[in-house]
Amino acid sequence: MNIGIIGAGVAGMSAAWDFVKQGHEVTIYEAEKRVGGLASGFSDDNWDWSLEKFYHHWFQTDQDLLKLIEEMGVSDKVLFPRPKTSYWIDGKMYRSEISPSAMFLPLPFFSKMRFGLAGVFIKLTPDWKSLEKVTANEWFLKYMGEDAYGKFFRPLLIGKFGEEYDKVNMAWMWARVKARSLRLGTFEGGFQAFMDTLAKQLEAKGVTIHLETPIQGITAQDGKPALAVNGETQVFDRVLATTSPGLLLKLAPELRETDFGKNIASLHSIGAVCVVIAIKQQLMTDGTYWLNLPAKSADKNANPFPFLALVEHTNWMDKAHYGGDHILYCGDYAPVDHEYFKLSDDEIVERFIKVLPTVNPAFNKDWIRKTWVFRAPYAQPVPYVNHSEHVPPLDTPIPGLYWASMSHVYPWDRGTNFAVEIGRRAAGLMLAQD
């Protein structure tokens, strides 16, 4: 078959891997200058490694990803160090990964026990279907109690989902805990090096990848999917789109009035904002890689920190890979109509860096060598109660057109591993259907 793929992210390239192995002709169209999608990276002049635009890491449980890497023959390039992660609570940092340090959390003894038992239950239970029938807010209050929930998980849910924090179902939280490992992984050279390696291997097998080539439309022609590309129409036997729900409906307007289109139009998601900062000195001198920051209000201006996570990348990866720079991420999630998507880069940098002395009083602006700002309007699906009833099928009403996205990986969270899984699952379905 002649197969077209929209998007050279992880899902699209993973599907292409299986298509080309079966001898099919594959063409990938990517709107950006580099492959990788949301996992793509960037570099500065004095760096040996690329850096992700949005902080990424792998878990040791990421079997679909690790299997693909093994098939590529580059497992020796995968690194899995164990970093330190922490919570900011009442002006102090407490280790947060599953470890005996949890017993030193600032809670009464009985609350600590409920906290630990609830965590063990989430980690060990194989069932998520029953958990999607209740919100995380309701479940935590019932089983963990107000003390632990109010100090730890409610502030994180508010920070991520804002006003809708109490509508997110518990299956989503189960998946977050279930997949987590203490060691966090990356690829030698950064995620972009992995994406580039995959792209090169695909091209060596005969896949054509067109960069800076956005698709202008999707239609059906003689019972086959057709793509409008650079003012011309390209007809394929099969097409896999790996876009956001909104972009799919924009490209294929005939889907809008179908039940399929109305369902995906109802899917809710939020965007991501990352300020990346190269500084001259270490900020979190205790070695913390990831610091979870509390939010008491959906109004980010009312919180002690205007973002959700402070990640010191070089407390996980050696700063020598980045020319001696210490690398910080100030990361947050917000609806696409939030001011974070309207402020200038300088304005959002200024807002985020002004709270850094709270974490390290010695910090001042002279530490900063350079900053970057990245924003993505489609970064996190929002799963409500009984969300599985609304997960769309991979095949669309347009003959030969399939769609695989973050909106399909539920109950699992968005991430590289599940992008591999959904890409390969879509490829399997496309190859199996007549």
Q: Which tens digits make up the pLDDT trace of 154-169?
A: 999 999 999 999 999 9
Residues 284 and 340 in one domain: yes
Given this model, what pLDDT does residue 103 score?
57
Say if residue 109 is in the same domain as residue 239.
no
Does position 311 have pLDDT exceeding 80, yes or no? yes
Distance, in Å, from the CA atom of 256 to the CA atom of 267, rounded to the nearest integer, reads 13
Q: Is residue 55 one of the residues assigned to a domain?
A: no
CATH number of the domain encompassing residue 304: 3.90.660.20
Residue 260 lies in a domain: yes
pLDDT digit string (tens) for 23-75?
Answer: 999 999 999 999 999 999 999 999 999 999 999 899 999 999 999 999 999 99
Across-strand partners of 41?
A: 52
* Whether residues 364 and 291 fall in one domain: yes
Q: How many domains does the chain have?
A: 3
Lowest mean pLDDT, pick from 185-189, 234-238, 296-300, 347-351: 296-300
* Confidence category of residue 104, pLDDT binned at 50, 70, 90: low
**Position 119 pLDDT exceeds 90:** no
Question: CB-based contacts of 392: which residues, under 8 Å, 6+ apart?
Answer: 260, 263, 264, 267, 403, 407, 408
Classify residue 61: in a domain, yes or no: no
| Residue 151 DSSP one-character state | I
Asked if 320 and 339 sit in the same domain, the reply is yes
Query: For the domain that residue 244 is a member of, what is the CATH number?
Result: 3.50.50.60
- pLDDT in the model for residue 177: 87
Mean pLDDT to the nearest integer, 216-228: 96
Contact 241, 7 (CB under 8 A): yes
Domain that holds residue 347: 269-377
pTM: 0.93
For the stretch 313-319, contacts whose Cβ atoms lie closer than 8 Å and that sit 24 or more positions apart, written own/partner, are 313/51, 313/55, 313/289, 314/282, 315/83, 315/84, 315/282, 315/284, 315/287, 315/288, 315/289, 316/57, 316/81, 316/83, 316/184, 316/289, 317/49, 317/81, 317/186
Residue 152 binned pLDDT confidence (cut-offs 50, 70, 90): confident
Average pLDDT over residues 176-184: 88
- pLDDT grade for 108, boundaries at 50, 70 and 90: confident
* Peptide bond before residue 108 is cis, with ω within 30 degrees of 0: no
Same domain membership, residue 371 and residue 286: yes
Measure the CA–CA gap between 97 and 83, rounded to whole angstroms. 9
Specify whether 304 is located in the same domain as 371: yes
Domain contains 51:
no
